[in-house]
Every structure is written in structure tokens, then in C-alpha cells.
Structure 1
């Protein structure tokens, strides 16, 4: 197979020229963050769900430049720890634009959020709910429920977090007794969710809980937190964002009519995934025998310093090189001395035979969960550096 460098569909030649000019200034490995893309994705969400509040999931990429941009654009923030909270508060974000969205939290951390004015907390268990009642009295809570989000999601989130609908009803009743305000229900259908129908099933569960609480307990919930799940543009095909908007809005109207409750979205990957260009260097090219069919290409990024979501070959990023000519399938691996540090062995990327040691590889749509998942200094390698393009 013969090829020249082919950019992903969402990268124009003009955009590539701008990114490439910036990338040439830095030593690999690094992540280049295109801030205009973040702004574009935020506006896309605003227009697609113009009735919803957007709470950026900071864990996806907490770069201070991204937080500052989104804060200025009016975004709210989904926070998972006191450390993320401090980062966001540094951008003069008022606490009414912040949610403590982690259902697993220390008592002292609940108190820390409460002392700083946060009054919106996620929960999915009685123990956590009682902690909130003690250390954040009178706060609003929303209860996360389990969903069948593993099918269609490249990065499922359905087992560790959430409770079943019956328990959600019980927790709402208990919250009311404990002096908290049972405010809403949340769910997450899985990250990089390509099966839009799972939102339909999740919203139907939420309707059941709303009706049970209203009819049996005289408790009126006022909010649905639909989490994230919208896709970035990786190799595995997903519907365009307009299709997600159309179908999810249809599901909401089928269950809640033309006047749905307050809607919150918690995008992470879909907001910042496509803003990232990771640039790595080819460290070594080898074969395991004289008759081996595939070359091994080792790069200076791997599972432990930026590409952890290639674990199990779950996320497959668009990958390009400036070399051209005949290509062949390769195994892609990282630089560390850990045998697990192999990104892609079953899914074979094709790279040119002309590729040489020292050549750069360009990993597109790497803005989410790359810098944040890096090890501190495994084998002495430092965390992945990032630079911003405006």
C-alpha cells in the first residue's frame, strides 16, 4: 500500500499548518493544545443543547489555559477532588457554578467544598449521603444511577459508580429526612459512547424515579444530570454531534414532554479531545526475527506517559507521519522497560517503510485524559509537557 501523509477529516490544511509551525518549536514528547478548538466545541454544545447547563469535567484536562478559557465563556465545572476545586477557584469561578461530582469522597473533602461555598453534591450510597448531611448540611444532592453503558462505549464507567433505581428512591427519601435537598438524578452512559440508544434507556429510568418519588413520597426532583459520553473524533466511527443532539432531545421529550427538568451536561472528552495533538519521536524500529512480518515501532510516549487509554486498545487515535511511500502494519510500543507498555498489537496501524529512527509521529485528538493519566517518573520519565496554541 502506498500513501502520503493523510490528515484526519477534522483537521484542515490551514489548521495543520498552524499546529505544525507551533510543534516544530518543541522537543518531544509533548501535547499541543489548540485553544480555539476548545472554544468551538463549547459553542457547539451550547447551541446543540441550548436549554442545558454545561459543567466541564475537569479531570479530562485541567490545563490552566483551558480552565481560564471555559470560565470566561461561562462554563460551570464538575469537580472530582479538592485539588481540582482549588484550580477552578483560582479562575474566580463562583461556587454556584461548581458540582462535587465524585461519589467517592473523604469527609474532610466534603467539608472543604462546603466551606468554599459549594452546595451541589453527587452521591450513590447511604454512607456518603450521611457524610454529606453531616459535613455539608442543607446542600442539594443528586443521585447517580447505574446504566447499561458498557455496550457501545470505548471506555465504560457503569460498574464502579451508581446505584439501582430502587436504591436511588430510598436515598432521596433519606436525604429529605436528613435535611438535604434531593435535587436530581444523574447517570453516565460511558465515555466515547457510540450507541445513542443507551441515553433512551437511562432517561426512562430517571422518569421512573421522578414519578415514584412524586407519587409515593411527595418529593419533587428538579434536575437531570446526563453526564458526558459524547465522542471525540478517533478512528472508530461515531455519529456526528448533531445526531446526538437530535436523538437525545427526542428521548427527553418522549419521557418529559416539552418542559423537562433542569438539564446538566458534564462533557469532558468531547470538549477537549479534539484540541490535542501529541507529538512523539520514533526511538527504535526493529523486527523480532528475520522472517517477522511486522516491525515494532517504539516511540517516546507510551501507556505510562500519555497513552493509558490505549490500554486494551480501547481508544484508537488518528496517527500520521510526514514520511510517505509503501506502508506495512506495525506494532506500536512505548519507551519504558515494562512489558505492558505496548499500545497497539492486535489493531495494526500502517506506517511507511521509509519511517526512520528520529522521525516524528503525530497523534491527533489526544487532548483528553493524556496529561492527567501520566505517571510521575516511571523509569525516570517526567510527566508529559503541554503547550497551548491560541
Structure 2
């Protein structure tokens, strides 16, 4: 899905490199509007194309890993590969000590190709094809999740040495943007039957997993889910099963510092509340963050390729859309993260020296705004990025820049109508 990745190694943005393999800086995109103007202008000079592209800030990924370790030092991260499988992102996380949550043989293969040991992979898909279970056995991925009797039988037949985590439904998914429990998670009344089924099959249930839903701002949901998980630990003990020792708290974390710190505090307090000091000595707590590491590290740069004026309404076409990077994006979030770079081009050298920047969601820096619709490039009328939002007057060849575009964006893109995913460049330390 991804086209070629280019590295930019430039020591100063003031001195433009003669070739695209000489510099860049580490600076968080979005924190400094001047930096955004500079980096995008620089990349456009090196890559004077109408194609949309991403900028990946690998320095920010490393900073986020430091934040994770500082706030949740007792929780091992298993990055959810499905969120964004870009090879450089995966390699950076691997180098920083992350383990990985994989949901398919393809994802497992991509992680093993990085030289990551299979014991740093959890096959976190509760429903797997038999051939996929056999593959996991062949490559030594020996931990997986389950939430049904039929899954127990498949694992017994094709990977009997695999350790299991019983996936339970989180009691509270309120406050998340994308609930998951309609598809996965055992109900409380199903837990005992599933544990007994695994016991009868001779399979080891090592622990419990849950997921409170993607992008959650309800931190207390971790508390109720950890309490529910402890009840499963107790049920396993009542059934005289080998002691469980793994608690998988799933994902749902956001990277905004205050929100993440609050969520981390709830997790730490809840583990201490429901698991005694003696139990915690042998307890391995893991998590499956995806959005936390990927979302803010990617910035999407699009080009306005068409415009139509109908009275007071403005309609624009850009070269990315619903079938590319915006399929799983929240339009409100897109608008709030959107920056317009006006007057990027002129007739002499193709680039304006001082492009006009406007934060579109706040409509700052412009005297007037118009009700606007932004379409993607395909011929499908459903391919809309924004509709009826207030934007400043824009022109063909202006740029629309979308911050925080790393989570479930390019990973969900298609090649519908012959349009592929945006190219990805990256910044390195």
C-alpha cells in the first residue's frame, strides 16, 4: 500500500540540500506553525509534485515511547500494527523496546522481518483461520487471544502449545470514538464455560485481555475493566486452573499529555487496588496501544487540484480523500487539524517565499470564510472530506495540511478508481 519512502537528513532548513538524502531536524509537527511552513516549503522544493504526501516525525515517536515508559513503566507496550504498519514506524518502535500486537500472518511476517523475536508478538485476534493458527505455530508466536469455544478447538488442533488470553467484553465503552465489543469479548456468563473448555482441551490460559474501545477519554473504563479481569482470575483459581499471570489492558490511549497521564494514573491505581502486592510480583501487565504512537507522528499534505464557486458556496477537490486516508477519520477532527497554506506557488520559481498559513478549524488570519465542501479525487460522490464547513477562500495549488493523521488512515486506504495512498517521507533525529 505504501510507495517508496524517502529519508531527509538536513542539518538546517535554511540551507536546502542538493539531493533528497542529506538532512532534516527533529521537531514536533503542529507545535510550531513557523516550522510547518518551513518544512513543507522545503519538501515541496525538493519534491515539486501535485501528489499528496505524509511527513512522519520519527523523533516524535521516540519521545512518545519515553512518555509511555515514564508514565506506565510496569506496562509493556505491544504496538497494534493494524493502526499504521509503516516499516519505519515499526522499526523505530522495535528499536525503542516495544513489542507488537499482530492480527494476521502478514502483520506477524512484517514484524519478524525486522528481526524481532516471536516472543515479542501477541497474536491478538480472537478469531483466526486454521491456516493462520498453523502459521503462528510454525514461526513460534505462542500467545494468542480467544473468546469462543470454537476457537479453543482450532487452537487445540493446530497450536496446542500456545498460551491463551481470554478476551472479555469491557464493561464500559462510553467515551470512546470506536467501540469494539459488538465483535469481540466474552460476556460474564460465558467466562466459566470458556475457561473449562480450555482446561478440558489441555490448553494453558495465561491471563485476561480486554479493550475499552479506540480513542477513549473515559479513563474510569480501565478501572471497571481491570476489576472485571480480576474476577476472571478468581474464577480460574476456583476451577483449580494454573495461576494466571498476564493482564492485557488493550488500547484506547490518546497521546495528549494530560489525558494520557490521567489514564495512566487510573491504570496504576486500579492494578494496585484489585491485585495484591504478592499477586503483582508475578503479574505481567501489557497493553496494545496503536493510536498513541501513530496518530500525531504523521502529517498529511494535500494539494487543491480543483475549485468551483456557486454563489457563497465554495467547492474544492484535493488529491486525497475518503477512499485514501480519510475513510476512518472524524470530519470534526479533520477540520480542527486542518491548516491551509495559501499562495504556495508563483510563476517564477513555483514557490512563494512567505506562504500565508491559516488554521482552518478556527478560521484565523482571514477576513472572511465561506461554507465549503472538500471532495477527494475519485469519481464517487461520497468521496467527501469536509462538507458545509467554514473555510477561507482558497485557490487551486494551495495546500491543505492535516495534522495528526497517523492512526487508521493510510492503513485503511484503497486503490479505488486508480488512486493510491499518499507517499510517506520522514524526519529523523
| Same fold per superposition (TM over 0.5) | yes
- CA distance in 2 between counterparts of 1:187 and 1:352 reads 44
Q: Which runs of 5+ in 1 are unaligned?
A: 1-7
Does structure 1 retain, via aligned residues, the 8 Å contact 2:217–2:259?
Answer: no
Equivalent in the alignment of 1:352: 392
Select 1:285's aligned residue among 286, 307, 314: 307
Select 1:330's aligned residue among 372, 387, 404: 372
Q: When the two structures are aligned, how many residues end up with a matched partner?
A: 372
Equivalent residues in 2 for 1:1-390 (5 A)? 11-13=31-33, 15-16=35-36, 19-20=39-40, 23-24=43-44, 25-26=46-47, 27=49, 28-232=51-255, 239-258=258-277, 259-260=279-280, 261-287=283-309, 289-290=310-311, 293-310=312-329, 318-323=337-342, 324-328=365-369, 329-345=371-387, 348=389, 350-353=390-393, 355-375=394-414, 377-390=415-428
- CA distance in 2 between counterparts of 1:116 and 1:317 reads 44
Does structure 1 retain, via aligned residues, the 8 Å contact 2:172–2:224?
Answer: no
Give the secondary structure class of the aligned counterpart of 1:198: helix
Shift of 1:83: 0.8
Shift of 1:314: 7.3
With over 3 angstroms needed to count, the CA separation of the structure-2 counterparts of 1:155 and 1:85, relative to structure 1, is same
Larger radius of gyration: 2
Q: Which runs of 5+ in 2 are unaligned?
A: 1-27, 343-364
Shift of 1:159: 0.9
Does structure 2 retain, via aligned residues, the 8 Å contact 1:317–1:366?
Answer: no
Give the secondary structure class of the aligned counterpart of 1:240: helix
With over 3 angstroms needed to count, the CA separation of the structure-2 counterparts of 1:251 and 1:71, relative to structure 1, is same
Does structure 2 retain, via aligned residues, the 8 Å contact 1:274–1:366?
Answer: yes
Shift of 1:362: 0.7
Which stretch of structure 1 is more off in the superposition, 146-155 or 111-120? 146-155
- Superposed CA deviations along residues 129-172 of structure 1, whole A, max 9, x for unmatched, are 21111111121000111124542111222211111123233222
Which stretch of structure 1 is more off in the superposition, 316-325 or 98-107? 316-325
Give the secondary structure class of the aligned counterpart of 2:396: coil
- CA distance in 2 between counterparts of 1:119 and 1:220 reads 18
Which stretch of structure 1 is more off in the superposition, 91-100 or 204-213? 204-213
- CA distance in 2 between counterparts of 1:327 and 1:232 reads 33
- Superposed CA deviations along residues 314-359 of structure 1, whole A, max 9, x for unmatched, are 776511012342242423321212122123336x3x4222x11110
With over 3 angstroms needed to count, the CA separation of the structure-2 counterparts of 1:389 and 1:314, relative to structure 1, is closer
- CA distance in 1 between counterparts of 2:335 and 2:299 reads 14
- Superposed CA deviations along residues 172-221 of structure 1, whole A, max 9, x for unmatched, are 22212212110111111111111111112211111111112213444422
With over 3 angstroms needed to count, the CA separation of the structure-2 counterparts of 1:41 and 1:22, relative to structure 1, is farther
Which stretch of structure 1 is more off in the superposition, 74-83 or 158-167? 158-167
